[in-house]
Structure 1
Amino acid sequence: MHSIAQLRPADFDDWVAQHGGEIPVLLDVREPWELQTASVQPAAGWRLVGIPMNDIPARLAELDPDVPVACLCHHGARSQRVAMFLAGNGFSAVSNVAGGIDAWARERDSAVPLY
């Protein structure tokens, strides 16, 4: 079993910075209706990719296993499962955003609606 690093939203900028020249991915694994309800605003230095959790196995080729990935969901449980799946499929640098978009809204961006 793989140990997945837990990343607080407040520490996200530091996580991005530690990957230097690479453009890490914030992988939002929530459902489309959730993305419409509350979404992270993309910023320079990282890429936002939205793939619902249940679609990850079929769409794995859309992700690069050599690029750092931080997984995000509503509270952190689904993204933890996706992070474990990615780590088990050869992804070398996988983190889970602890607390999900809920914590993101509380710690990092109050413009993100809580739901």
Structure 2
Amino acid sequence: MQQITPAQVAQWAAQQTQRPVLLDVREGWECQTASTQPEGLELVHMPMQTIPARVSELDRSRPIACLCHHGGRSMQVAYFLAQQGFETVNVAGGIHAWSLQVDPTIPVY
């Protein structure tokens, strides 16, 4: 599974032929605590446990970068989606690393 750092997301997104999705797989309270809306990507929130039932809501033609708190849950989701035929990457370090590398205004929790 390919991993990219939060600092690499914008460059990765710019290289895609379709507008990519940033799939945030954290729980709702986590997204309310700390979130990002990177330019060039569509932010979609689907908690990890809902992915199997909601996979049909995702467009297989669009690349997906998976995001969670530290990168563990998103790695599992990225792997699952790749097995379903999606083009996926994992955002290593999650929203925590995003706060450290890209946007220090994002709260660390």
- Runs of 4+ in structure 1 deviating by more than 3 angstroms, as ranges, are none
What residue identity is the alignment partner of 1:101? I
Structure 2: runs of 5 or more not aligned: none
Indicate whether 1:18 and 2:12 are aligned: no
| TM-score normalised according to structure 1 size | 0.92
SS of residue in 1 equivalent to 2:90: strand
Q: TM-score, normalised by structure 2?
A: 0.97
Amino acid of the structure 1 residue aligned with 2:2: A
- Alpha-carbon distance in structure 2 between the residues aligned to 1:23 and 1:62: 16
State the match for 2:3 in structure 1: 6
Give me the whole-angstrom Cα distance separating, in 2, the residues matched to 1:13 and 1:111: 18
- Partner residue, 2:101: 107
Give how far 1:41 is off.
2.3
Give 2:33's aligned residue. 37
Percent sequence identity is 57
Question: Which residue number in structure 1 is paired with residue 92 of structure 2?
Answer: 98
Q: Which runs of 5+ in 1 are unaligned?
A: none
Aligned length: 109
State which of 70, 81, 92 in structure 2 corresponds to 1:86: 81
Please give the root-mean-square deviation of Cα atoms over the aligned residues, in Å: 0.8
Aligned-partner SS, 1:96 = strand
Q: How far, CA to CA, are the matches of 2:98 and 2:38 in structure 1? A: 13
Q: Does 1:28 align with 2:24?
A: yes
